[in-house]
């Protein structure tokens, strides 16, 4: 079952046999006591790299006046962080669903679950894992669900079987991408 993928993350691309243990976390991210932003960009990038050491962030053209940082890994999973150093307004994680390699698919979904937990606490991880269970067991078509998380954060998870990808976007309630 896909919900067990969140227990199976280990850093630095572990062999298939090591898919056990607690879900990934972004514990030290400085977001818990402030509802006006998604955290500090430097810390967020550092923690994203802890989830996947392949990520090398590069700055792209600004989006709506906000700096835009982007990274990808060897499985074409991408992460985008939009916002100033102390004013992150959006984080988006997109992964390509690798159907023929369940271990890699589950590993990548587990990393995405780390973002859901890091910016949405246990509630965010529960929501994310429940949707993944639905998607990979019951939903053959396009699927999208939105959830308001704590601290005025909005999470949107979209799944597209045609594009073979899944996207998790977390924004502040006041930010419109």
Say if residue 120's pLDDT is above 60: yes
Note whether residue 158 is domain-resident: yes
Residues spanned by the domain of 145: 2-13+22-172
* Confidence grade of residue 4 (pLDDT, cut at 50, 70, 90): very low
pTM: predicted TM-score of the whole model, two decimal places:
0.74
What's the average model confidence in pLDDT over 76-80?
A: 93
Note whether residue 40 is domain-resident: yes
Say if residue 139's pLDDT is above 50: yes
Pick the more confident residue, 100 or 65. 65
Note whether residue 64 is domain-resident: yes
pLDDT of residue 177: 60
Round to whole Å and give the CA distance between 2 and 22: 15
pLDDT of residue 5: 34
Query: How many domains is the chain partitioned into structurally?
Result: 1
Note whether residue 161 is domain-resident: yes
Pick the more confident residue, 95 or 173. 95
Three-class DSSP labels, the chain: CHHHHHHCCCCCCCCHHHCCCCCCCCCCCCCCCCCCCCCCHHHHHHHHHHHCCCCCCEEEEEECCEEEEEEECCCCCEEEEEEECCEEEEEEEEEECCCCCHHHHHHHHHHHHHHHHHHHHHHHHHHHHHHHHHHHHCCCCCEEEEEEECCCEEEEEEEECCCCEEEEEEEECCCCC
pLDDT tens sequence across 102-111:
888 888 888 8
Q: What are phi and psi of 95, to 5 degrees?
A: -125, 145
Note whether residue 177 is domain-resident: no
| In contact, 123 and 150? CB cutoff 8 Å | yes
What's the average model confidence in pLDDT over 11-37?
A: 35
């Amino acid at each position: 079952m896909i919900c067990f993928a969140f227990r199976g993350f280990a850093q630095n691309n572990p062999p298939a046999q090591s898919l056990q243990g607690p879900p990934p976390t972004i514990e030290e991210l400085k977001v818990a006591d402030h509802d006006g932003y998604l955290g500090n960009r430097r810390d967020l990038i550092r923690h994203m790299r802890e989830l996947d050491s392949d990520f090398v962030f590069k700055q792209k053209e600004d989006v709506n006046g906000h700096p835009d940082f982007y990274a990808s890994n060897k499985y074409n999973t991408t992460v985008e962080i939009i916002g100033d150093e102390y004013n992150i307004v959006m984080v988006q994680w997109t992964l390509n669903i690798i159907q023929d390699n369940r271990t890699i698919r589950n590993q990548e979904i587990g990393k995405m679950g780390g973002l859901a937990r890091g910016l949405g606490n246990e509630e965010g991880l529960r929501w994310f894992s429940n949707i993944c269970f639905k998607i990979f067991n019951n939903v053959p078509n396009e699927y999208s669900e939105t959830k308001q998380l704590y601290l005025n954060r909005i999470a949107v998870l979209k799944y597209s079987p045609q594009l073979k990808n899944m996207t998790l976007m977390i924004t502040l309630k006041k930010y419109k991408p």
